[in-house]
A and B are shown apart, each in its own frame.
Chain A
Amino acid sequence: MSLVFRKSFDLFKTVKWILRKDIRACLSSLPEKVEKINAVEVEITRTGRRPRSQNPMLEYRHIYPEFLPDPNPNWRNSLREKLERADMLERRKQIDIPEFYVGSILAVTISDPHAQGKTNRFVGICIERKGCGLRAEFTLRNVVDNQGVEVRYELYDPTIQTIQVLRLEKRLDDKLYYLRDALPEYSTFPVDMDPEILPEGTAVPVNPVQVKLKPRPWLERWERQELKGVSNIEEHLKEKDRVRRELRKTPWEKYDLMKQYRKTVPIEDQNEIWGEVYNQLQQMRMSTKKTARKRVITAPKSQLG
């Protein structure tokens, strides 16, 4: 009986969610699909302003995805999430964790007891960003002395001294693991790169670069992943691979509303979460903007001097 009840409740929730989905865009914390981004860009060019959804707080799910908990209901607990968010905000008061996305180029300085000078700086492209709460982490990739290097950092690790965004941009895909099989020039970035400052109020640009893969063997079956940021994938495929790619396709998954629902945190919960942290995050953003502006003004002087 209870099972039936739960099922019907689940169904009811889903239906509610579907109806809501018709009204506004998908609420997943995952980065939006490229087509959507393009659409947003078109809008920007028309109005010259960032499109504002009904609730500006919900926009933060892209900037601070780690504030949303894991959607698995078995692991959720409101008190734990609250304590976790409080700890995250405490840490954010100590260092400025900037807005960045997969595809942005970052420089991270950490304190390292074994390094010379006790600090270690690494520059690289962010190839993945995952985890929620205090477990949030990201991976940087660079090629140092013709050797690919990847370093995974915890976002809230207290040994991180600074996180600096050298180039704020997105790529065409959510994860850039394919850079491991791409030609090294696509993941090579100079260590002494200067930070590029975007004019205020512009949307985060999407870099439409398409990388070239090295010939096989590959680490993963890239041809099956519907990647947009790879140009020469067809060159390396045999007829067998194409056939199998067709067989393994799951075109029905985009219609699986239940699956999408389970991947997202319900909007009621999201409203509650953002209502709790929005003001503090907003204040932090404003203060960092102010300091950044000061830095922009003072930077040329120091160069002249």
Chain B
Amino acid sequence: MATSNLYLLCKAMNNLRVNHIVKRTGHYTTLRKPKYRPPYWFMPKERVVSEDMLTQENRDFLEEVKQDKQVLQKQMESPLANVEMQQATEWTPFTRRVGLIARKIGNYPLWTKDGKKFQTTLLQVVDNHVIKYIPPEEFNPMKSGKMKKEHWKEKRTLGCLLVGSETIDPSTVTKDYCGMFTNVGMLPKRHLCRFMVSPHAQLPTGTPLYATHFRVGDCVDIRAKTIDRGFQGVIKRWGFKGMPASHGVTKTHRRPGNIGAGGEKARVWPGTKMPGHMGNSWRIIRGVKVLRVNTEHNVLWMLGVAIPGETGAMCYLYDTVLPLKKLKTAPPFPTSLHVDGLPLEYYDESIHAFEQPTIKFEEA
């Protein structure tokens, strides 16, 4: 887009007989690709806030415009509601649906109908909207690691769907970041995430996503960043045992001990477990069951407390890839619509809802 514009400009300038403009063609990109190429949606987001010396009136005006835009965004209807669902294809076990961006909001216990207690993690799906779909032909990601090898053949069967979460004030982010959203007619979002989807599972821009995208009893994979623990020793980082507190041990209570032998192996082997930075890395926990869904606040209750990150961290959910926990029946496809009159809460059949009477066991 930009190069073509420049090209047009150059043409216009040539017509004006201005000859000192150097034309820059895209030979660099065609011949040799850069080693690291971030995805194009990866725009610098943070903006340096400067004092604009605006008058109070102008400030108010800007605020008004902002409010109007947000109101418009909220009133926007789901594009799915108008589209006739006839064109939509059926779900098969090989289709990949879009995922959700959620925030971890805490843990609390739920009880099953046979009186057992389970800890659950609450995930809130915050204001998710589809931003853009990139079809498989146009999607050209960076290949790294195993994929880089010659024999790997790109299949290009999955498209890329960008999903954003939490609308923010456009003046707080850079122009580039904001431009990605305004190009498709949305307000900028705080979190932006990519989901690989089958082409027939694509969604139009502006489709809101809700927690009912997942049903109770389904299993999902969750990708999130772990808690940043900083530089840690081997005991915390790798679970080493350390050495005794007494019996003549001096100055080596929490140290790793030996890290290599002599002879041919007289060096430190690669991958030796040593102290270092711990946490703040991406982890995927697979096959987490949804136990309960709140449709009003878009909250999911997930089984277990092993979801990475602290309270308030964002995580990305999508249908599990585990073969035994994969979806067996058709889920809401391509996603669930917002329908009035949904029940407030969905419970898994094993879960005891708190409004149910006390659990009593029958004598056999």
Of A80, A83, A154, which contacts B117 at CB under 8 A?
Answer: A154
How many whole Å from A87's CB to the nearest CB in chain B? Answer: 5
Interface string of A128-143 (1 = CB under 8 A from B): 0000011100000000
- How many angstroms from the CA of A278 to the CA of B362 in the assembled complex? 36
Of A77, A133, A156, A161, which contacts B360 at CB under 8 A?
Answer: A161
Q: Is the interface of B mostly helix, strand, loop or mixed?
A: loop
Interface string of B88-120 (1 = CB under 8 A from A): 000000000000000001101101001101000
- How many angstroms from the CA of A112 to the CA of B363 in the assembled complex? 11
Stretch at the interface among B57-65, B71-79, B351-359: B351-359
Chain B residue with minimal CB distance to A160? B358
Chain A contact patch, size range: 20 to 34
- How many angstroms from the CA of A199 to the CA of B297 in the assembled complex? 45
Stretch at the interface among A18-26, A91-99, A204-212, A288-296: A91-99
Chain A residue with minimal CB distance to B297? A79
Which residues from A are CB-within-8-Å of B297?
79, 83
Chain A residue with minimal CB distance to B352? A158
How many whole Å from B120's CB to the nearest CB in chain A? Answer: 10
Interface string of B323-364 (1 = CB under 8 A from A): 000000000000000000000000000001111111111110
A157 near B117 with CB under 8 A, answer yes
A90 near B355 with CB under 8 A, answer yes
Which residues from A are CB-within-8-Å of B105?
77, 79-80
A75 within 8 A of partner (CB): yes
How many whole Å from A135's CB to the nearest CB in chain B? Answer: 6
Q: A74-B311, A79-B297 are in contact. Are A161 and B108 (CB under 8 A)?
A: no
A94 near B361 with CB under 8 A, answer no
- How many angstroms from the CA of A139 to the CA of B296 in the assembled complex? 36
Of B115, B312, B353, which contacts A111 at CB under 8 A?
Answer: B115
- How many angstroms from the CA of A134 to the CA of B119 in the assembled complex? 11
Which residues from B are CB-within-8-Å of A83?
122, 294, 297, 299
List CB contacts (< 8 Å) of B247-276 with chain A. Answer: none
A157 near B357 with CB under 8 A, answer no
Which residues from B are CB-within-8-Å of A87?
108, 354
B108 near A84 with CB under 8 A, answer yes
Which residues from B are CB-within-8-Å of A117?
363
Which one of A83, A88, A118, A154 has the highest number of Cβ atoms from chain B below 10 Å of its Cβ?
A83
B360 near A94 with CB under 8 A, answer no
Chain B residue with minimal CB distance to A116? B363
Which residues from A are CB-within-8-Å of B359?
111, 158-159
B310 within 8 A of partner (CB): yes
Chain B residue with minimal CB distance to A92? B354
How many whole Å from A190's CB to the nearest CB in chain B? Answer: 26
- How many angstroms from the CA of A74 to the CA of B105 in the assembled complex? 10
How many whole Å from B339's CB to the nearest CB in chain A? Answer: 22
B106 near A75 with CB under 8 A, answer yes
B124 within 8 A of partner (CB): yes
Which residues from A are CB-within-8-Å of B356?
94, 158
Of B114, B115, B355, which contacts A94 at CB under 8 A?
Answer: B355
Which one of A80, A118, A156 has the highest number of Cβ atoms from chain B below 10 Å of its Cβ?
A80
- How many angstroms from the CA of A160 to the CA of B355 in the assembled complex? 14
Chain A residue with minimal CB distance to B108? A134
A305 within 8 A of partner (CB): no
Which residues from B are CB-within-8-Å of A56?
none
- How many angstroms from the CA of A74 to the CA of B297 in the assembled complex? 21
Chain A residue with minimal CB distance to B354? A90
Interface string of B194-215 (1 = CB under 8 A from A): 0000000000000000000000
Which residues from B are CB-within-8-Å of A77?
105-106, 311-312
List CB contacts (< 8 Å) of A130-177 with chain B. Answer: 133-135, 154, 156-161
- How many angstroms from the CA of A275 to the CA of B57 in the assembled complex? 38
Which residues from A are CB-within-8-Å of B111?
157-159
Which residues from A are CB-within-8-Å of B353?
90
List CB contacts (< 8 Å) of B20-37 with chain A. Answer: none
Interface string of B4-16 (1 = CB under 8 A from A): 0000000000000
Chain A residue with minimal CB distance to B124? A79
Which residues from B are CB-within-8-Å of A161?
358, 360
- How many angstroms from the CA of A80 to the CA of B108 in the assembled complex? 9
A217 within 8 A of partner (CB): no
How many whole Å from B82's CB to the nearest CB in chain A? Answer: 31
How many whole Å from B165's CB to the nearest CB in chain A? Answer: 15
A300 within 8 A of partner (CB): no
A251 within 8 A of partner (CB): no
- How many angstroms from the CA of A157 to the CA of B294 in the assembled complex? 21
How many whole Å from B310's CB to the nearest CB in chain A? Answer: 7
- 20 sampled A-B residue pairs with Cβ under 8 A: A77-B105, A77-B311, A77-B312, A79-B299, A83-B297, A87-B108, A90-B355, A93-B355, A94-B355, A111-B358, A111-B361, A112-B361, A118-B360, A118-B361, A118-B363, A134-B109, A135-B108, A154-B109, A157-B111, A158-B115
A94-B356, A158-B111 known, 4 other contacts, Cβ within 8 Å: A80-B106, A94-B355, A118-B360, A135-B108
Q: Which residues of A contact B (CB under 8 A)?
A: 74-77, 79-80, 83-84, 87-88, 90-91, 93-95, 111-113, 117-118, 133-135, 154, 156-161
Q: Which residues of B contact A (CB under 8 A)?
A: 105-106, 108-109, 111, 114-115, 117, 122, 124, 294, 297, 299, 310-312, 352-363
Q: Which 6 interchain pairs have the tightest Cβ spacing?
A: A80-B106, A90-B354, A159-B115, A77-B105, A118-B361, A80-B105
